Structure 1
Amino acid sequence: MTARHRYIGGASTILAMSVLGLIAWDAYSTTGAVERGVEFAASSHATNRLQGAVSPGTVALHPVARPDRRRRIRGTVVDTRGAPLAGVHVSAMSRADESLAELPCPDWAPGAWEALLEEKPRRLLQDCQWAGRDALTEWLSSRRGEAIPQAETVTDGDGAYLLDGLDDGALSIWALNEEGAAAQQDILGIHDDLRLVLTPGLRVEGIVSGGGAPLPGTHLTLVSVTTGRYFDGIAGPDGRFRMGPLPLGRYVLLAEQGGWRPALLHLDEATSLPEDGVRLTRPLNHAGRVLSRGNPISGARVELFVDFSSEEGSLQVATSDAKGQFHFSGLREGHRVTLSAFHEGMIASAQVTLDERDGAETELELRPAPFLEGVVRDEARQSISGANISWVPQRLGGIYPATTTTLDGRFRLGPLGPDKNQITVSAPGYLDAHFYLDSLELQSPFDITLFRAELITGVAVDEHGAPAPNVTLKLNRACKHPASFGERPQTTTDTAGRFELKACSPGPWEMEAVDERFLPDAIPVHAPSGGLRIALKQGPTVTGILLDEHGVPVVGADVFLAKREERGSPSRYISSDAQGHFRLGAVPPGHYIVWAQKHVQGVTRLTAAQDLELRDGMATQVELRFPVGLTVSGIVVTASGTPLEGVAIQTSRFPQADSTEPPHIGFGCGGPPIGVRTDASGRFVLRGLSSAPHAVWATKDGHAFKPARSMGGTHHDNDWIFMKPGASENDLRLVLQRISFVRGRLLGPDGRPFPDYVINREIGVFSLEGTFLFPTTNHGQMALIFDAPGVASRTVTVDVPLEEDVDLGDIHMPTVLHP
């Protein structure tokens, strides 16, 4: 096989591919690239470099000889029918030392304290996406954790490829061309027949806009979460971009443009871009001064914390200068933020809603920081020495004070911050006390009473007698003691399996392990007791691999294990790993079913359910496979027949085809993910459908789905159409009608607007200007009835054109009613 140049784009799209960290673009300016509509390119390690004058879309492959390395991976690339594919770019990538998937949450993120108690690391992409937005933006912008290219080649006429001179360790192997993509992760060792099946993959396309207008030249970075591979692109002159095809999986998209706040979006095979694409906003600045008795304070620490109700929590820190001034940038209009200043035992705090007011500043006047003072006693009013008092604010970050009581039980804790604070008081042999205090309302001294605990101590071991570390143990009922009312006493075993549980009353209790490694069996214990040896049962286990219809491992699918008679309530579930493997356990012996489910571009794919009989001490291995699916295509048009772009298409298997089909586990209160949208021509494709009947529906802001006017299935009510994949009516034509709006202003006999009135006896309007906006999907003549206090009703007849708006202007109500 020889490296070769190949023109793969048009004027609008460049195929995503990696060339050992070197992309050869034409040597023109970025502006020129934008004008030509260059929308996508890729990088694997270094930033893109402009080299020479070459045609747009031309990629130069530069193999690197590594004679000292002998590892190789050989295989073929085929299409979904098994036919070999020539000219496909195949590359091997290794992970960097830093991993995007392992990026931790910021210390101050909500829930971090609970994670510390559970000794469980919190990952940004799993546990705090919004809280870690700024950290993730900085990470991606600086290209941290970028995958390292090992080798790249092009398949020959038989679809064969050879990647040679590879490093040891886990690799991801990618295959890309203009028609499809494939990737396999965590490939170890030498392979002589690694088969890569190209599928249509994932295409990320949309428009970048800001201030209501397209933003050409916006730089886009798309990063694979699991492999760390970076892809780069530039929005075209109309703000549009197209990325892909890429292998299905989890990605993060970063959009950057000078003078605008970066946008960060999380995408995968189940979640597409928002309907309005990628929207950037202008960054706001906020400044202020730190004062003490009116004098400027230099060197004060100033924190700006974005309220999490805005769903973009973040923390910024600045230091006041010689004039006491501080400055924050890159903020977003409408966010409510808390500003806090700290300096030599003094604090100040203020809340501000950001807007575009010029010259708006916040003055932070320092005052002495509060301290929590008091005494800790037992229920006999005897002082407790050596009790621990700790403080954790609602927002975490930094080092927080902790102290212990003196011989006479007294303590002084602080300085405290401006937040609401969680105070924990604990002492050996006593029940812990937890309470919340607002530091702005502290009134010391506090008299804290701890109550004697009935201790249950011992060691937890597994079935083989080995210590069971990091296991959460809980007592089976809540305490009725006033010190811990409603709490279930719990603890976590240490590295040697040792534990100490504090029961709130003597007598019999039941303990259970809350851990996926062990059965939640009720273990009888007595309080107080010591030296216990608790044997935790692991029960039967199920291990296996999940494959797609081509025999390729499936990453990130949900695998469920449920009792046969409780199919809709899984006992355990887990996600398949990078190689499609899964392990389910800690269930009692019995009859079960196991199956997998994955949401892929608007379709919920299900494997067949396998019946299992699980017995103690038995490990069961299974192979789950998604069946060959059916494909249905279609178009979405308006009521007047115009194709609609950006419409979300969703499907649901409804009802189950038969009693042997596994249940579809629902999406909870958030609704199903929106996995596929129509393109610029209104077209869409649904792949991997089963032959079971499906409900199909379409959504777009400002539009109403019209099943009765749609074709390709039978309509049901006004919500969806019913279709059976594989039937003759496979080509769907879905109709969305644009909602018409009737607008106007309601005035009284004296010409003043009504701020409060009702339309058609059911729709209340509240507007100081008297304006209304009445939505309707009806067209033709319709009546609007206006009722306002103190005047007679008025009916206005209006002729509403199909999918058009009507402006009624000012509507004057008749004279005042007389009693």
Structure 2
Amino acid sequence: MTPSPFGGASRRIGWKLAAGLVLLGAGVWFLLPSRPGSEKPASGSAHTTDAPVTRVRPSVLQGAPPGGSSEDARLTIQGTVLGPNGPLHGARVFASATVEGESLSTLRCGSISSLRLFECLRGEEADRLAELVKERRGEAIVHARTLTAEDGSFLLPGLEDGLYAVWAESPEGLAFRPTVAAGTSSVELRIGSGRKVWGTVTDDAKAPVPGALVTLVFAAHSRFYETLTDAEGNYHLDALPPGQFMAVVAKEGLLTKASPLWLYLPASERNFELQRPGRMSGRVLLANAPVAAATVHLTDPYGQKASTLTDGEGRFSFDGLGRQAYSLTAQHQGKGATTYLSLDENPQRLDVLLELKPAVFIEGVVRGEDQKPLAGAEVSAFLEDWGDFELVKDFEWKTTESTDDAGRYRLGPLPPGLYRLQATDTQHLTSEEEARPFSPGKETLDFILKRALLVEGVLEDSQGQPVQGETMTLRRLDEEHGWEMTSTGEDGRFSLPASQAGEYQLRVDGKQVHRLERPLTVPTDPLRIVAQRLMRIAGEVVDETGMPLPGVHVGIWAEQDASEEKPLAHDETNGEGRFLIHVDTAGRYTVTADLFSRSFVRTASQTVEVNETSEPQVRLRFEKGRPLTGRVVDWRGRPVPQVPVQVQPAPMPVIRRSGYLVQLSMKTDEDGRFSLEQISGEQFDACIHSDVFSLLTEVHGEARCARVKNDGQEVRLVIGRGVFVTGRLVHLDGSPVTHFRMNGREVRREDGEISLLIQQPGQERIELSAPGLQPVLRTAPDFPEGVQIQDLGTIVMSP
């Protein structure tokens, strides 16, 4: 999580409130005979400490059922809980529900409404999530609870009409059904192993942090799991469902940390480091004299701002800062200064000096053609040229501000120079001023934006039903760039701005319906686009116990396609472990699910027949898998430590993650070994990510991966060290050999120079031959560590 620059009292109050509620919740749950998860962990737990860990069990709040008051509730949910040996007596069963717009799992990003809050852990969104969790807001509410009878049956009474998550917990494990309708009478819950997570919370001095509040929020259903660290900073949580969580760790006096957490393995270790708050202070000067009442703005990389005024001695300060870069801007009476500082190395920057100089300030109002102010429009100043580099070196070449509710904006302080100004708004055409010089002082520049020509309409299928979430694209036919893109809403409606009248192309991308393109002349009347829906494959992904798995990538290939081809379509399982994929032609397809991280790889596939008369239902089940060990050795058979290795699904990975593999890689130990806790599937790829080493075994793809079978045997990867050998071939008289063969490859060089990449120094053979000359056979020399090029010098070839 990126800490907000505004820490202060609100953070301290929020933490105290959270800690108090946690302790209160622990007491309340102690009094409830059927509180979920109250059992102690079984002996032999993977977590062991000398001191007991203080645990606060999952919080489940009582509340009114969705859709009405509890007095009018008359529906029930009935079913059976099954353990490893049949019906389970005495299991705790309860039904919980989330509230749209209130529960954390339903909240959206403020900046990107298509993403959930859990997916936007940057800047303001990260702070928002952390504050909600610390204040215990947004968790799921329990509406009914009970214990199973001797035959494993249960009845949850007093429910209003609606959908509920149904949970079962016992010493044997847990079960979870994410969506069960009130009134259902045949729910079957099969108990599976709960997930465990443990670790240590330390500060940035590596000292343990006792009493830290560790909260895990189940992303699929907003259920909270909480605990406090013990005297050694250790924590432990168990009886967790598999899936994605958001971890929020808080302690008075330290910066709160929020980060995603995947819990798919039976047990996982996750350590957290809480940073001490940073501080930035300094003085604002003018001609070496302090400036009082100057305004100082602090801005983090995500655009969050904090402001203060200097005191009588020109001093300012900002507290509660995170380890990141900031921009500082000071302004006073037409003068300004800006600098960029990072707290990564030194969290206490107490000597910042901002020297005021004459600056440019540009302000004005942005209005539409109707003269009404436009709120949220963006005004940018582009620095095109400058004379005094020393004056502007700390300024960005582009400065952007948004208008307020009155349409007003203010840019500055800016260094004097040549600027091009531009005003943009999503519903209007961009207005741009020609570049001109700006001198120190304040200038007023208003913008009038013309209303964009809108291409609007509705996308429907052949049955007249709206198509939601389909991508629509608009492009001018005489422009290669300038595409406008949007997604259809719940009613199938879309709206795209056109820059000017003319000929355009409207495209339906074809995720749910057949792709189509239509020429348009803008302006145009509202459109009604009718498209034929694609055929669908629906399904779910479950673990070895049948528990649904959210956040799993699922892809589909035509059965006859080569395994290296990208999937025709892909989806990610939702909170219920379900997915939906579309294809445009009938036939046989292979549906594959994969899930992998540093410590596990899990894949499952199924072949299905797809036609226009039915919708196949696919259930992809991950097998339990087995541990995997491997060893990396060099070309001489010596173990190689600290080599990044990534194991990933094969032969049909759903999502190509080449850009992220280095971050997901594990490093070999001193014996060259690496291991995974669990791997399932018939085969996988083992990839080496190194600028120095490369695989000598059979490799493929850009990632240079070796295909390995999952047969329970130790994986052995042989790597070479990539280095270059250079030299020059000459005749006896010293003239260059211009036509020769090097390791079987024909080369023509007027200067006779050779350059060869080798991977086995001290062992690889170098064969040189030329027409009419005696061949030369050399062994590549051993290279000292760190040397990348070895010059063999002049090599004489005799007749």
Give TM-score scaled by structure 1 length: 0.61
2:272 corresponds in structure 1 to 278
Question: Is 1:90–2:93 an aligned residue pair?
Answer: yes
Alignment correspondent of 1:486: 481
- Given that residues 71 and 164 in structure 1 are in contact (C-alpha distance below 8 angstroms), is that contact kept between their aligned partners in structure 2? yes
Query: 1:255 Cα deviation (Å)?
Result: 1.8
Match of 1:60 in 2: none
2:552 to 554, 557, 566: 557
Give the corresponding residue for 1:352.
Answer: 341
1:108-123 mapped onto 2 (5 Å cutoff) = 112=111, 120-123=113-116
**CA distance in structure 2 between the aligned counterparts of 1:683 and 1:41, rounded to whole angstroms:** 35
Aligned residue number for residue 701 of structure 2 = none
CA distance in 2, matches of 1:427, 1:147: 36
1:521 alignment partner in structure 2: 516
**Which residue of 493, 498, 504 maps to 1:502?**
498
Q: Relative to structure 1, is the Cα distance of residues 22 and 209 closer, same or farther in structure 2, using a 3 angstrom cutoff?
A: same
Give 2:17's aligned residue: none
Structure 2 unaligned blocks of 5 or more: 1-25, 41-48, 63-69, 381-397, 634-641, 698-703, 719-758, 760-781, 788-799
Query: What's the CA shift for 1:254?
Result: 1.7
- Residue 391 of structure 1 is aligned with which of 370, 378, 384? 378
Contact 1:209/1:278 (<8 A) preserved: yes
Task: State the 1:537 CA deviation.
Answer: 0.8
Q: Which residue of 1 aligns with 2:244?
A: 250
Q: Write the distance in 1 (CA, Å) between the matches of 2:426 and 2:182.
A: 54
- Give the distance between the partners of 1:452 and 1:190, measured in 2 at CA: 52
- Distance in 1 (CA, whole Å) between partners of 2:423 and 2:267 is 44
Equivalent residue number for residue 325 of structure 2: 336
1:689 aligned partner: 680
Cα distance, 1:329 vs. partner? 2.5
Corresponding residue SS for 1:136 = helix
Report if the CA contact (8 A) 1:287-1:360 is conserved.
yes
Alpha-carbon distance in structure 2 between the residues aligned to 1:537 and 1:570: 23
Does the Cα contact within 8 Å between 1:248 and 1:269 map onto a contact in 2?
yes
Show the counterpart of 2:575.
578
- Aligned residue for 1:743? none
Q: Residue 422 and residue 244 in structure 1: after superposition, are their counterparts in 2 closer, same or farther (change >3 A)?
A: farther
Using the alignment, how far apart are the partners of 1:349 and 1:44 within structure 2? 47
CA offset at residue 529 of structure 1? 5.9
Contact 1:179 1:245 (8 Å CA) reproduced: no
Letter in 1 for 2:600: G
Cα distance per residue 1:139-177 (max 9 Å; x no partner): 211111122233444445544444333455332222334
Question: What is the alpha-carbon distance in structure 1 between the residues aligned to residue 238 and residue 645 of structure 2?
Answer: 20
**Number of the residue aligned with 1:611:** 609
The residue type equivalent to 1:610 in the other structure is V
Q: For 2:607, give the aligned amino acid.
A: A
List aligned pairs for 1:630-709, cutoff 5 A. 630-633=624-627, 651-654=647-650, 656=651, 664-671=654-661, 686=677, 689-690=680-681, 692-694=682-684
Letter in 2 for 1:511: L
Q: Quick one: distance in 1 between partners of 2:256 and 2:144?
A: 32
1:597 lines up with 2:601 in the alignment: no
Shift of residue 314, structure 1, vs aligned partner: 6.8
Correspondence for 2:178: 185
Asked if structure 2 preserves the Cα contact closer than 8 Å seen for 1:423 and 1:435, the reply is yes
The structure with the greater share of residues assigned to strand is: 2
Which residue matches 1:511? 506
Shift of the alpha carbon at 1:705?
14
How far 1:248 moved relative to its partner? 0.7
Match of 1:172 in 2: 165
Alpha-carbon separation, structure 2, partners of 1:442 and 1:388: 27
Is contact 1:416–1:439 with CA below 8 Å preserved after alignment? no
Q: 1:234 aligns with which of 204, 228, 232?
A: 228
Q: Contact (CA 8 Å) 2:282, 2:316: kept in 1 or not?
A: yes
Deviations 1:691-721 (A, max 9, x none): x23457999x9xx99999xxxxxxxxx9889
Q: Deviations over 1:217-243 (max 9, x none)?
A: 322111112222111112234333222
Matching of residue 71 in structure 1 with residue 75 in structure 2: yes
Q: 1:368 to 1:556 in 2, by over 3 A?
A: same
Whole-angstrom distance in 2 between the partners of 1:496 and 1:98: 26
Deviations 1:730-784 (A, max 9, x none): 7x69999xxxxxxxxxxxxxxxxxxxxxxxxx9xxxxxxxxxxxxxxxxxxx996
Compute the displacement of 1:608 (Å): 0.5
User: Which stretch has the larger CA shift, 347-356 or 437-446?
Assistant: 437-446
SS at match of 1:260: coil
The match for 2:566 among 559, 565, 569 is 569
Q: Is the 8 A contact 1:42 1:232 kept in 2?
A: yes
1:148 aligns with 2:141: yes
* Cα shift at 1:251: 0.7
Distance 1:262 1:479, change over 3 A: same
How far apart, in 2, do the equivalents of 1:582 and 1:511 lie? 29
Q: Which amino acid in structure 2 is aligned with residue 320 of structure 1? A: L
Tell me how far apart the structure 1 counterparts of residues 166 and 534 of structure 2 sit (CA, whole Å).
Answer: 35
Q: Is structure 2 residue 710 aligned with structure 1 residue 724?
A: yes
Deviations 1:534-555 (A, max 9, x none): 5231422415231536555443
| C-alpha displacement of 1:189 | 0.6
Deviation at 1:246, TM superposition (A): 0.8
Cα distance in structure 2, aligned partners of 1:621 and 1:545: 10
Residue 175 to residue 395, structure 1, CA distance change in 2 (3 Å):
farther
Q: SS at the partner of 1:555?
A: coil
Q: Distance in 2 between matches of 1:673 and 1:78?
A: 40
| 1:221 aligned counterpart, secondary structure | strand
Conserved in 2, the CA contact under 8 Å of 1:289 and 1:362? Answer: yes
Q: 225-234 or 553-562, which moves further after superposition?
A: 553-562
Q: Which amino acid aligns with 1:230?
A: F
User: SS state of the match for residue 577, structure 1?
Assistant: coil
Equivalent residue letter for 2:657: F
- Residue 693 of structure 1 aligns with an amino acid whose one-letter code is Q
1:474 and 1:490 in contact (8 A); partners too = yes
Mapped to 1, the partners of 2:86 and 2:688 lie a distance apart of: 35
Structure 1 residue 100, shift from structure 2 partner: 1.3
1:263-316 C-alpha deviation (Å, 9 max, x unpaired): 222112469999872112221122356789967665x87543222xxxxx4735
Q: For the residues of structure 2 that align with 1:175 and 1:439, how far apart are their CA atoms?
A: 71
Q: CA RMSD in A?
A: 5.7
Residue 670 of structure 1, CA deviation: 0.6
Distance 2:190 2:421 in 1: 54
Q: Work out the CA distance in 2 between the residues paired with 1:235 and 1:562.
A: 47
Per-residue CA deviation, residues 437-470 of structure 1 (Å, 9 max, x unaligned), is 99999997999999999x7967445245678799
**Deviations 1:59-113 (CA, angstroms, capped at 9, x unpaired):** xxxxxxx88744333333334x56344454333323256121233435xxxxx4x
**CA 1:486–1:460 in structure 2 vs 1: closer, same or farther (change >3 Å)?**
same
Match of 2:536 among 531, 542, 549: 542
Contact 1:270–1:675, Cα closer than 8 Å, also in 2: no
Please show how residues 371-390 of structure 1 align to structure 2 within 5 Å: 371=362, 390=377
**2:120 pairs with 1:133:** no
